[in-house]
């Protein structure tokens, strides 16, 4: 399959796509001050780094484990370690709090941050219960603050963001089906925190890493809601951790008729060069896009490879250093201007609602 540059990609009618290069920082240092707390998941590093790259200034870091806080703060010359969460929340300079708490704590922490007048950016999954989601919805309505989610398998992945642009410009016609594959590597059991093995705390596999998949389905199909066809979870190979779900799958139908199947698991073997062979396949009426996010298996092509075929072409695009990950700059501007260009609040909440409901269906 030929590798082509992004500038050579053409629509079926021969016209060019409107594709912008990676965006520069959207504001000057000090214009958008953030803090980081609850450093339970390693995603916090990517969350902070992406915001800072887009123009944010990290002022505070707080975690009950001081060593974690010191380690993150040391990466940013102006960052200081706070003595408490209150020290962050009482600082009027702080516009947004980024956090990657234990999943069951993410909702309550977000409510506390919003009530303190801060926008909130949490790791996925943003909630483990519908009650937490309902409380967050009420708090957003009452405070006017934002509760945004790090759905990193799309917003922090360049080929996924390129697919956004192509789909929205009609590259494959009307999207009628999405398949999402989200395998993960377990690693050594002792390397995982205790909450990883307690379902009440991590929420279940479909609620947790399945949240990425639900968000991508809504994004690529344009669906606003969905019904659940089936959902299943199980513990196939880890009887020593009875509350762990190591395999999950589900099927949905969008309110616009689009179909969706996804599978998530903890079975990436050590022989693979990355933590998971994540893929998304987007079927349209006039073509198909396949995203090979973390690796292009058995090749040296690297990550972020986008395959596209339509009525006139069959191509591969190396999406690295093409369009960047514009979400983070857009999100900063949304916080400053009270707009919703990066992601609407309803979209973020609907993806969260679906993954919790899917988990509940599987649990039954």
Query: Does 247 lie in the same domain as 114?
Result: no
> Does a structural domain hold residue 24?
no
Q: Residue 221: in which H helix or E strand, if any? A: helix 210-221
Predicted pLDDT at 129 = 98
Q: Answer yes or no: is 132 within a domain.
A: yes
Q: Measured at the alpha carbon of residue 150, what is the angle toward residues 17 and 207, in degrees to the nearest 5?
A: 115
Do 182 and 324 sit in the same domain of this protein? yes
Among 172, 107, 165, residue whose Cα is nearest residue 138? 107
Measure the CA–CA gap between 86 and 80, rounded to whole angstroms.
14
User: 174 and 130 share a domain?
Assistant: no
Same domain, 288 and 169: yes
pLDDT of residue 14: 86
Residue 98 CB coordination number (10 Å): 27
Judge whether 28 lies within some domain: no
- How far is it, in rounded angstroms, from Cα 306 to Cα 293? 8
Give residue 268's pLDDT. 98
- The mean predicted confidence, pLDDT, of the chain is 97
**Integer angstrom CA distances of residue 14 from 8, 74, 165, 200, 288:** 10, 50, 17, 53, 18
- Residue 13: pLDDT over 90: no
DSSP summary character for residue 312: S
CATH of the domain at 219: 3.30.360.10
The whole-number pLDDT of residue 108 equals 98
The mean pLDDT of 202-215, rounded to a whole number, is: 98
> Mean per-residue pLDDT for 59-85?
97
DSSP secondary-structure letter at 127? -
pLDDT at residue 58 in the model:
98
Last residue of a domain, one of 151, 179, 213: 151
Would 96 be classed as within a structural domain? Answer: yes
Whether 350 is in a domain gets the answer: no
CATH code where residue 69 lies: 3.40.50.720
Using pLDDT thresholds of 50, 70 and 90, give the confidence band for residue 219: very high
Helix (H, G, I), strand (E, B) or coil at 291: strand
Is 6 among the domain residues? no
CA distance linking residue 66 with residue 86, whole number of Å: 15
CB-side exposure of 113: number of CA atoms within 13 Å?
Answer: 30
Burial (CB count within 10 angstroms: exposed 0-12, middle 13-18, buried 19+), residue 21 = exposed
Q: Confidence class of residue 3 from pLDDT cuts 50, 70 and 90?
A: confident
Q: What is the mean pLDDT of residues 136-142?
A: 98
Return the pLDDT at 347.
98
pLDDT tens digits, one per residue of 147-191: 999 999 999 999 999 999 999 999 999 999 999 999 999 999 899
Tokens coding 318: 């190396």
Residues 6+ apart with CB under 8 A from 187: none
Average pLDDT over residues 344-357: 98
Q: Mark whether 215 and 142 lie in a shared domain.
A: no
The reply to whether 22 falls in a domain is no
176: part of which helix (H) or strand (E)? strand 175-183
Q: What b/e sequence results for 260-296 when a residue is b if at least 16 CB atoms lie within 10 Å of its CB, and e otherwise?
A: bbbbbbbebeeeeeeebbbbbbbbbeebbbbbbbbbb
| Angstrom distance (rounded) from CA 347 to CA 79 | 32
My answer on whether 87 and 50 are in the same domain is: yes
pLDDT digits (tens, 9 = 90+) for 112-132: 999 999 999 999 999 999 999
Asked if 361 contacts 231 with a C-beta cutoff of 8 angstroms, the reply is yes
pLDDT in tens, 24-38: 999 999 999 999 999
In the block, residue with structure tokens 């089906």: 177
Q: Is residue 253 part of a domain?
A: yes
Domain co-membership, 259 together with 159: yes
> What does the pLDDT read at residue 4?
87
- Among residues 130, 151, 172, the one where a domain terminates is 151
Name the pTM for this structure.
0.97
Say if residue 227 is in the same domain as residue 79: no
Q: Are residues 259 and 231 in the same domain?
A: yes
The pLDDT confidence band at residue 52, using thresholds 50, 70 and 90, is very high
- Nearest to residue 211, comparing CAs of 306, 326, 133, 131? 133
- pLDDT exceeds cutoff 80 at 287: yes
Task: Give the pLDDT confidence score for residue 56 in this predicted structure.
Answer: 98
Structural domain count, the chain:
2
Joined tokens for residue 352: 């969260």
State whether 258 and 288 are in the same domain. yes
Tell whether 134 and 181 lie within a shared domain. no
pLDDT of residue 293: 98
Tracing tokens 């079927």 back to the chain, one arrives at: 283
Q: To the nearest whole percent, how much of the chain has pLDDT over 70?
A: 100
Predicted confidence (pLDDT) per residue in 249-274, tens digit: 999 999 999 999 999 999 999 999 99
Q: Nearest-CA neighbor of 335 among 24, 41, 55?
A: 55
Segment 292-335, tens digit of pLDDT: 999 999 999 999 999 999 999 999 999 999 999 999 999 999 99
Q: In this structure, what token pair is assigned to residue 175? A: 């999207």
Average pLDDT of the residues in 340-349: 98
Question: Residue 1 pLDDT more than 80?
Answer: no
Structural domain containing residue 100: 33-151
Residue 141 has pLDDT above 90, yes or no: yes
Q: What is residue 85's predicted lDDT score, i.e. its pLDDT?
A: 98
Domain boundary among 101, 127, 151: 151
Instruction: Quote the pLDDT of residue 2.
Output: 80
Based on the fold, state whether residues 158 and 306 are members of the same structural domain: yes
Task: Sort 37 into a burial class: Cβ within 10 Å, 0-12 / 13-18 / 19+.
Answer: buried
Inter-residue contact 29 to 59 (CB < 8 Å): no
């Amino acid at each position: 399959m030929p590798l082509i540059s992004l500038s050579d990609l053409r629509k079926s009618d021969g016209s060019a796509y409107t594709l912008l290069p990676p965006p520069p920082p959207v504001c000057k240092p000090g214009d958008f001050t953030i803090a980081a707390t609850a450093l339970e998941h390693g995603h916090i590093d990517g969350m902070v780094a992406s915001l800072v790259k887009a123009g944010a200034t990290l002022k505070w870091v707080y975690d009950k484990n001081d060593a974690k806080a010191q380690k993150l703060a040391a990466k940013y010359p102006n960052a200081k370690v706070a003595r408490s969460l209150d020290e962050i929340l009482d600082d009027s300079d702080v516009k947004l709090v980024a956090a990657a708490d234990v999943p069951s704590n993410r909702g309550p922490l977000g409510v506390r941050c919003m009530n303190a007048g801060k926008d909130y950016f949490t790791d996925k999954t943003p909630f483990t219960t519908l009650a937490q989601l309902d409380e967050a919805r009420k708090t957003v309505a009452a405070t006017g603050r934002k509760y945004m989610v790090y759905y990193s398998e799309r917003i922090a992945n360049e080929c996924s963001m390129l697919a956004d642009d192509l789909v929205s410009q009609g590259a494959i016609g009307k999207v009628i089906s999405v398949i999402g594959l989200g395998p993960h590597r377990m690693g050594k059991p002792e390397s995982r925190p205790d909450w990883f093995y307690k379902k009440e705390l991590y929420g279940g596999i479909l609620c947790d890493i399945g949240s990425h998949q639900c968000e991508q389905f809504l994004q690529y199909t344009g669906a606003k809601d969905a019904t659940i066809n089936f959902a299943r979870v199980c513990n196939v190979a880890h009887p020593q951790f009875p509350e762990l779900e190591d395999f999950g799958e589900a099927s949905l139908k969008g309110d616009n008729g689009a179909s969706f199947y996804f599978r998530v698991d903890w079975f990436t073997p050590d022989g693979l060069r990355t933590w998971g062979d994540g893929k998304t396949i987007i079927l349209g009426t006039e073509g198909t896009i396949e995203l090979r996010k973390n690796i292009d298996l058995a090749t040296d092509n690297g990550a972020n490879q986008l395959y596209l075929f339509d009525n006139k072409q069959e191509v591969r695009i190396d999406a690295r250093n093409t369009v960047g990950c514009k979400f983070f700059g857009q999100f900063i501007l949304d916080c400053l201007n009270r707009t919703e260009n990066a992601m609407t609040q309803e979209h973020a909440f609907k993806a969260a609602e679906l993954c919790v409901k899917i988990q509940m269906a599987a649990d039954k």
